[in-house]
Chains A and B, each alone.
Chain A
């Protein structure tokens, strides 16, 4: 089932005469059938509101939502055929796992009504899908976070929703479980082929399992692309800074006679008119080179297994430190360290609008 968001806007009227809050601003997107979409952005960017609009828990101020060809904009959540997984899981604590999974089925009315056996069968099927059959008689409190998460997904899937929505599904899990569970979500989504939208503020999570990522900021969609493209070809400084750990290094720079300067260091030739620019360099975009043009003051070196993280400073850097990650085979010593930059890991932004001017900037 494809999901179409058309000029979707949600405005919360102000309290106490302040300005109205535009939580979602003119969101247009067609989610292809059977894809896993990650809504990514910092807190307050409107990603959860977007999810709530798709679920029907909130109604849009303007704009339309289609599931396939059905206009669901004014349908209440129970008639949209969605499954929703909450950040808190919202498993009913007084019911067993089986009762939790069966709860949505018990609400069917009229001709859709199921017999006890049918309900149980469907619930078991959902439990099998998320691999929690051994725990059916347990209460949620007797399970680990990861298991509770699976129950929540099973409950959302049991009535065969047209669209599956996940609100920060992994944020309550510890690091190890998070890795495991996100693979699990990916597998379940592939197996069921249900169009899935999930919200996260964790870029790594979004990058690792989404077919496409929607990056939002202050209610406005910044970029919709597949994960690698969002990382390699960000449309603006915000997107570039939001994705990647450690984050992209940002410098003030200038183009003079087709030469890019960072501070006074002439780092590479570029095909741009003379102007001031912001230079973004991914941590992995530095190459250690005794004769490299970029001269930084060395602060510290951390060897972490296969990588070495070099922390240095540069007068033109917008951040207090410049973080570069190079192979651990390199030896770094002395007061200064010199780098060459990889062109395809370097992005230039306009200094005023912060929009991307060029990436892969080598002439």
Chain B
């Protein structure tokens, strides 16, 4: 027994060493940075230990803006994308003709580069001196006034960011949900049909509970993913997100490290840990809910 477990540890050693060097040490380091007040990266010295960095970050209007943006993004895109993915998956599951074709089409955004997609969205939404962008042309053709989605009002920019995020995360969710739906034993549907259940009742009483574990998985990973959003915003609004007012928490961390006026690893670390705390809390709440309503 003893020998066995020693062997096991030896097998695990490479992975553990890797994790220790590249995960655990940096995490610990971030913690240390975040409490070192007035850390100077050139001299590698600090004044002392304290929570000043956290206080600074929490009072920084840019951080507040980033926090607000991130929360709006999460609250809008996670339910919306999961709902749309569910609709599309149920639709896909109930057709037989051209099913593979549609599956491929819906999966395309997944294999497309974020920045390339961002470029396409720019073309669709951006207002330039020469063109108002495709979407604005559409709005005008319906008699509306054109809006600058990229440099315009906050709601318009947020709309584009949410639209973009939903579109990018959809394929993975559709993939997971179609396979979850396909794995439900068709006998359940037959039994429910024989028992006279309507389509809607079959969906709510049988299909949904059956795929609930997958839905919860998607919601949890969706929350985590949306909280970590950054590249999407860059793809749409460029690197100076603070100026655009569209920064996210991860964007804030990045700016604090490398952006213009950056070089503050302490603030960056504090912000990163705040994000970590938020994500941890939300995930725990999610898990609790899913445990409570868990099936089987």
B-binding residues in A (CB < 8 A): 55-57, 76-79, 82-84, 86-88, 90, 92-94, 103-104, 107-108, 139, 141, 155, 159
- Contact A104-B296, Cβ < 8 Å, known A86-B187, A86-B190, A92-B206: no
CA distance A139 to B201 in the complex (A): 20
Taking a contact as CB atoms closer than 8 A, the residue among B185, B197, B212, B295 that contacts A88 in the complex is B185
17 A-B contact pairs sorted by A residue (CB < 8 Å)? A56-B194, A57-B193, A77-B194, A78-B193, A78-B194, A78-B197, A82-B194, A83-B194, A84-B190, A86-B187, A87-B187, A90-B185, A92-B191, A94-B295, A103-B197, A139-B296, A155-B195
Please tell me if the beta carbons of B187 and A94 are within 8 angstroms of each other in the complex: no
> What distance in Å separates the Cβ of A125 from its nearest Cβ neighbour in chain B?
17
Please tell me if the beta carbons of A90 and B187 are within 8 angstroms of each other in the complex: yes
Residues B182-200 near A (CB distance < 8 A): 185, 187-188, 190-198
A-binding residues in B (CB < 8 A): 185, 187-188, 190-198, 201, 205-206, 209-210, 212, 295-296
Please tell me if the beta carbons of B194 and A107 are within 8 angstroms of each other in the complex: no
Instruction: Name the CB-closest residue of B to A108.
Output: B196
Please tell me if the beta carbons of B188 and A90 are within 8 angstroms of each other in the complex: yes
Please tell me if the beta carbons of B296 and A94 are within 8 angstroms of each other in the complex: yes
CA distance A86 to B190 in the complex (A): 9
CB neighbours (8 Å) of A83 from chain B are 194
> What distance in Å separates the Cβ of B135 from its nearest Cβ neighbour in chain A?
43
CB neighbours (8 Å) of A77 from chain B are 193-194
CB neighbours (8 Å) of A56 from chain B are 194
CA distance A155 to B187 in the complex (A): 14
Taking a contact as CB atoms closer than 8 A, the residue among A84, A92, A108 that contacts B194 in the complex is A84
CB neighbours (8 Å) of B295 from chain A are 93-94
Please tell me if the beta carbons of A94 and B209 are within 8 angstroms of each other in the complex: yes
Taking a contact as CB atoms closer than 8 A, the residue among A86, A93, A108, A159 that contacts B191 in the complex is A86
Please tell me if the beta carbons of B296 and A78 are within 8 angstroms of each other in the complex: no
> What distance in Å separates the Cβ of A75 from its nearest Cβ neighbour in chain B?
12
CB neighbours (8 Å) of A103 from chain B are 192, 195, 197, 205
CA distance A56 to B191 in the complex (A): 12
CA distance A86 to B209 in the complex (A): 20
> What distance in Å separates the Cβ of A21 from its nearest Cβ neighbour in chain B?
18
Interface of A is mostly: loop
CB neighbours (8 Å) of B209 from chain A are 92, 94
- Contact A104-B190, Cβ < 8 Å, known A93-B295, A94-B209: no
Known contacts A86-B191, A92-B206, A94-B295; can you find 15 more A-B pairs with CB under 8 A? A57-B190, A57-B193, A76-B193, A78-B193, A78-B197, A84-B190, A90-B190, A92-B191, A92-B209, A104-B196, A107-B195, A107-B196, A107-B198, A155-B195, A159-B195
A-B CB proximity, top 10 nearest: A78-B196, A94-B295, A104-B195, A90-B187, A107-B196, A90-B191, A94-B209, A77-B194, A84-B194, A86-B187
CA distance A200 to B205 in the complex (A): 31
CA distance A2 to B185 in the complex (A): 32
CB neighbours (8 Å) of A55 from chain B are 194
CB neighbours (8 Å) of B212 from chain A are 94
> What distance in Å separates the Cβ of A88 from its nearest Cβ neighbour in chain B?
5
Please tell me if the beta carbons of A93 and B296 are within 8 angstroms of each other in the complex: yes
Instruction: Name the CB-closest residue of A to B197.
Output: A107
CA distance A169 to B172 in the complex (A): 39
Please tell me if the beta carbons of B195 and A88 are within 8 angstroms of each other in the complex: no
CB neighbours (8 Å) of A57 from chain B are 190, 193-194
CB neighbours (8 Å) of A94 from chain B are 209-210, 212, 295-296
CB neighbours (8 Å) of B296 from chain A are 93-94, 139, 141
> What distance in Å separates the Cβ of A264 from its nearest Cβ neighbour in chain B?
56
Please tell me if the beta carbons of B206 and A78 are within 8 angstroms of each other in the complex: no
Please tell me if the beta carbons of A88 and B194 are within 8 angstroms of each other in the complex: no
CB neighbours (8 Å) of A82 from chain B are 194
CA distance A130 to B206 in the complex (A): 24
Instruction: Name the CB-closest residue of A to B206.
Output: A92
CA distance A235 to B111 in the complex (A): 64
> What distance in Å separates the Cβ of A33 from its nearest Cβ neighbour in chain B?
21
CA distance A262 to B209 in the complex (A): 64
Instruction: Name the CB-closest residue of A to B191.
Output: A90
CA distance A131 to B15 in the complex (A): 55
CB neighbours (8 Å) of B193 from chain A are 57, 76-78
